[in-house]
Structure 1
Amino acid sequence: MGLRMSEVGEITRETCGRYDANASSYGEASEDYDRFPGLRAEVVEFARLAPRPLPVLDLGCGGGRDARLLASLGRTVIAGDYAPAMLEWARDRSRGREEGRTLGFLRLNTLALPLRDASLAGVWASGSLLHIPSVGMERALAEIYRVLAPAGIAAISMRIGDGEGWKKGGSLDGRRWFTFVDPDAFTNRLEAAGFTGVRIRFAGRAGWFIAVGTR
């Protein structure tokens, strides 16, 4: 039997709770781009593609690594995450830095983004939507589409595979929910949500891809 939407909230709370419980260690461990081949170049390309002058959203910002890079590239950035301790860690790490003047922090739920329609030039979601159960993916993509301005860009990285469920281990202790997807099937989901020109880029990290689409 498949999941119901009513179960998604509890799955989100438990998964994000693992990040909250390990905010400092996870933030430090994920800070170095050398551990994630190709990722820095992908963030730079997103910053170039997202039309100016509207802000961009780092959706599921974690420790704020990508948000700080985007800000250093001259973008106005909203760093958003559901996990409050993780968000506070990101805020503390960014405090006092020159690029922090273009950074704002916001607790948010991907299924109901607290942002106006057509208010963003881009949404960068690096490894965050993979924690959304399949039953909630349509709503998540619809929310991303809603907050993007015309010609705005969504760049979403996901893990290649099939199936979903609780997984233990990896970069954090305890269990987290993971949703694995086929790149072609995810392209179809983005197109169904209204995105055009969807293209898949296979990341420098084994088992990952980035889907880029235009509103």
Structure 2
Amino acid sequence: MSEVREITRETCACYDANANSYGEASEDYGRFPGLRAEVVEFARLAPRPLPVLDLGCGGGRDARLLASLGRTVVAGDYAASILEWARGRSREERRAPGFLRLNALALPLRDASIAGVWASGSLLHIPSARMERALAEIHRVLTPGGIAAISMRIGDGEGWKNGGSLDGRRWFTFVDPDTFAVCLEAAGFAEVRIRFAGRPGWFIAVGTR
């Protein structure tokens, strides 16, 4: 458990230290081919009228789009500074998400209270030893018939990565798409399907509660 806490603390500290630059850099959908269409499709598929959860919302880009599409949105992240940046960027929106600091391993939400969970690149910071727990929490908060859409990086292995697009150290867990689909099924999800994203090296796993 101490290692998991360290992974969470240091990875989130990296996002907090780079909140402004990360928030600005992640705003433009043009930098992420296919992503906007994936968010729109998720908004369409998640049953109404319950809210949707943007799990690991970062700068709030997807949460704001979901809100503009008429969805009630809970936007959650553990990194406090990036969450505050996202809240500030959303302040002038006609329809704004609600923001909540949360831990993906213990979601502060009632059972069956969410229509859909959108997790874009957030679970890749969860160590593999705790992935089962994170998927169980997503399954728990979803209403029957609700959907989860989780984007991950294709690969094998996990560990710390220094630098890259952000200054600092972050934990990354890479997964095989078929193996991740089996994990979703083991967590209780049905109709699991894998969609290969427009972004090289990424995929989206979609499952129904």
Q: TM-score, normalised by structure 2?
A: 0.99
1:126 alignment counterpart = 120
Q: Which residue of 1 aligns with 2:168?
A: 174
Percent pairwise identity: 85
Which residue of structure 2 lines up, in the alignment, with residue 198 of structure 1?
Answer: 192
Secondary structure of 1:118's counterpart equals: coil
Q: Which amino acid aligns with 1:149?
A: T
Report the count of equivalent residues. 209
Displacement of 1:37 in angstroms is 0.2
What is the aligned counterpart of 2:71 among 47, 72, 75?
75
1:97 counterpart = 2:85: no
Post-superposition Cα deviations, 1:114-162, rounded to whole Å, max 9, x if no partner, equal 0000000000000000000000100000000000000000000000000
Aligned Cα root-mean-square deviation (Å): 0.6
Q: Which amino acid aligns with 1:95?
A: R
1:9 aligns with 2:5: yes
Which structure 2 residues correspond to residues 135-146 of structure 1 after superposition, within 5 A? 135-146=129-140
Could you list the runs of 4 or more consecutive aligned residues of structure 1 that deviate by over 6 angstroms after TM superposition? none
Q: Which amino acid aligns with 2:93?
A: R
Aligned pair partner of 1:112 in 106, 113, 126: 106
1:34 is displaced (CA, Å) by 0.1
Gaps of 5+ in 2: none
Q: Secondary structure at the match of 1:110?
A: coil
Which of 50, 53, 57 is the matching residue for 2:53? 57
Give the Å deviation of 1:199.
0.3
* Displacement of 1:164: 0.1
1:150 aligns with 2:163: no
Corresponding residue SS for 2:44 = helix
Structure 1's unaligned 5+ residue stretches are none
- How do 1:27-42 residues align onto structure 2 when only pairs under 5 Å count? 27-42=23-38
* 1:194 maps to amino acid: G
Q: Deviations over 1:166-215 (max 9, x none)?
A: 01122201110000000000000000000000000000000000000000
| Partner Cα distance (2:10, 2:2) in 1 | 14
Matched residues in 1 for 2:92 and 2:196: separation?
A: 35
What is the rounded CA distance, in whole Å, between the counterparts of 2:190 and 2:197 in structure 1?
21
Q: Aligned partners of 1:190, 1:172: CA distance in 2, in Å?
A: 30
Shift of 1:9: 1.3
SS at match of 2:92: coil
Shift of 1:6: 3.4
Distance 1:191 1:12 in 2: 25
Partner-residue secondary structure (3-state), 1:98 = coil
Picking from 62, 69, 76, the partner of 1:66 is 62
**In structure 1, what is the Cα distance between the partners aligned to 2:94 and 2:164?**
33
Question: Structure 2: how far apart are the matches of 1:171 and 1:60?
Answer: 17
